[in-house]
Structure 1
């Protein structure tokens, strides 16, 4: 028998780290006598977003957390430290462990025959993809996906290796402007060591692993793990046999794909011909 009750107050600090973050913002703002408009100006956002964050209805960005730390005299970096817990709440429960692993990885290898992986999506592409399921928390899902990408801009980023089917570059997601922004993002990654982007040409008809999107994470210490992207949810595998099978499939995919110095010109060509 379940003792859970669905009718909970999302602004109750005990409900989630997201609600706790919002309650702390409200307490500090009221202690200083700041209005929501005044805090919004300091955080470069509007009254509405401040109100939603305080109510536990929106995930704060790092910029918002840092603005709070700067605005509240005795914060001492507290809001930047709380933000990862609040951000974690925006991910589906089954995906949270993967995000934790991704942040500590030294290498991220991904293959997708259908879409640009989330780690490399621009916000408008992510919004178009995530919006297809019409979620109520679309803004939070997009924020969370963009925040994941901070791993690529830290002082010692992991090496990102992407292998994509050519059809991913040609499939119009969200319209031509969205696709242009997304292809330019891939082009930037392709030119940014240590990252690598490879494209499998459309002449290739079959893939190892039946074309199922998957990724491999490597770490400074410990064994590799595999993430399989599925519906309705993905999952992480750590068994040595599964990891070895995925690594072998990825090696075969690399061999089937165009080399990096030929993949980048193909992206340029598709940009020019399809989205200029």
Structure 2
């Protein structure tokens, strides 16, 4: 049995963005005398998920918000606007500045010596990575990570350049099927004309001056910034000296890496030999 909020409770302006989104869904549904089952059918999800979203217990996917704007009269894009705010607050506070910058970037230059970066992770790979930390709200974390990838589907997507260590291809994350799907995705990125993927061979030696994942972000206006992954949280650096050092380090990493065609061939080879 679930208990719905009264309209007075639901319009509390102090509610979180996620709770506010859910309450707006509930209020519109009640105005239309529509059950959760009926709304679920209209937006292609189950009754239990509708209930969780209305309570603010789950981050809705974009398709849910789009469906609400379509189903409810006078939606006028309101649920997509509320969804964007709710999604932003689904990220940890320290990560929100990075997400805002990533959305505005025209170019992303990424290095990772261990994992496929989140911007191109498959659902299975992201789930396997995130659940290792035994977090609360695993599905919400996966949804938030996958939504970041929408920027690569824009008409003007940022140019993506990935430099990865060969260990990224061979370290099994999740199951072999998860790895197969992930390497297929990585190969698709490598074969996209606007993107670049280079692999640093694992020959037993240390290549490059850094061992931590980092991202260089460029914009139409303003200077480049760098985001460094770390534990327990990452951080953004905007000082010119730091950005220059990161740029020099990335140039060296690209020089150590295999050419683009050879990198794609290696991904395909590992995919065929290890995960077929």
* Range of TM-score over shorter length: over 0.9
Q: What is the correspondence of 1:32-71 to structure 2 with a 5 Å cutoff?
A: 32-71=32-71
Give the aligned partner of residue 247 of structure 2.
247
Count of aligned residue pairs for this structure pair: 268
Q: Aligned equivalents of 2:89 and 2:57: distance in 1? A: 11
Displacement of 1:58 after TM fit?
0.7
SS of aligned partner of 1:184? helix
Structure 1 position 220 matched with structure 2 position 214: no
Give the aligned partner of residue 104 of structure 1.
104
Q: Aligned equivalents of 2:11 and 2:134: distance in 1? A: 23
Give the aligned partner of residue 118 of structure 2.
118
Over the aligned positions, Cα root-mean-square deviation in angstroms equals 1.4
Q: Aligned equivalents of 2:90 and 2:274: distance in 1? A: 35
SS of aligned partner of 2:18? helix
Q: Aligned equivalents of 1:135 and 1:234: distance in 2? A: 17
Q: Return the TM-score normalized by structure 2.
A: 0.95
Q: Aligned equivalents of 1:210 and 1:224: distance in 2? A: 19
Give the aligned partner of residue 268 of structure 1.
268
SS of aligned partner of 2:197? strand
Q: Aligned equivalents of 1:12 and 1:64: distance in 2? A: 23
1:199-230 C-alpha deviation (Å, 9 max, x unpaired): 00001621334311101000000000000000
Give the aligned partner of residue 76 of structure 1.
76
Maintained 8 Å contact 2:125/2:174: yes
Displacement of 1:16 after TM fit?
1.1
Structure 1 position 190 matched with structure 2 position 190: yes
Displacement of 1:50 after TM fit?
0.5
Displacement of 1:274 after TM fit?
0.2
Change (3 A) 1:226 1:235: same
Give the aligned partner of residue 171 of structure 2.
171
Change (3 A) 1:36 1:197: same
Structure 1 stretches lacking a partner, 5+ long: 1-8
Change (3 A) 1:74 1:11: closer
Q: Aligned equivalents of 2:84 and 2:205: distance in 1? A: 41
Change (3 A) 1:225 1:131: same
Q: Aligned equivalents of 1:37 and 1:237: distance in 2? A: 48
Maintained 8 Å contact 2:10/2:23: no
